[in-house]
Amino acid sequence: MKHLLSLIVGATLFATACTSTSSPNAADAAAEVAAQGIERVVTDQVINAGIPVTTADLAIDGMSCEMMCGGSIKKALAKLPGISGTEIAFVEGDERDHAIVTYDPSQVSDAQMIEAIQALHEGQYQVRAVHITRQVVAPGAEGTAPVASGNAASVEVFLPRPAVLPSLVALLSQILRS
């Protein structure tokens, strides 16, 4: 009986996984996120020059470490099309940790990112809120044309955060809760 039930659940998951579209619709994604009870905020940020980017700050419950949990989440998000970068913001003692994702909304939706995170490790991670920041070029601004110079190069810098050693009490309480 258990085998039959797991077979039915597996077939249902397979059938629903195959129905996703390759180009997400923003309205459908927003409705899907809202249906899951996840707080979703979208903010437009006007820029005067440069190439606009879209970022999503995903507040996640269930993470216990930056290396393993954060690494799993970064790998899952990297498999999605349109993801150009992910940073894990893990602060010991905070209620929720964050994944800050830079992405192309024409290729992937926030609902797809949430689904990828929540599918990890039998649902260990739960996304509770999403804050999307869309950069928009101001009307009459320089535009988004890249610099036409032979010496132009794009440089992306990530500064390492200082290492935070866990307190002995916090470590022991996590072990005892497990």
Q: What is the pLDDT along the chain (178 residues), one digit of tens a residue?
A: 444 444 444 444 444 443 333 445 566 666 666 667 788 889 999 988 888 999 999 988 888 777 788 889 999 999 999 999 999 887 777 778 888 999 999 999 989 999 999 998 888 889 999 999 999 888 876 654 444 444 444 445 455 555 555 566 666 777 777 6
Q: What is the pTM of this model?
A: 0.60
pLDDT of 1: 47
| Residue 143: C-alpha distances to residues 15, 53, 136 (Å) | 43, 13, 10
CA 165/CA 171 separation, integer angstroms:
10
Instruction: Give the CATH number of domain 38-140.
Output: 3.30.70.100
pLDDT of 168: 64
Q: What is the domain partition of the chain in residue ranges?
A: 38-140
Element (H, E) at 171: helix 168-177
Tokens of 25: 């619709």
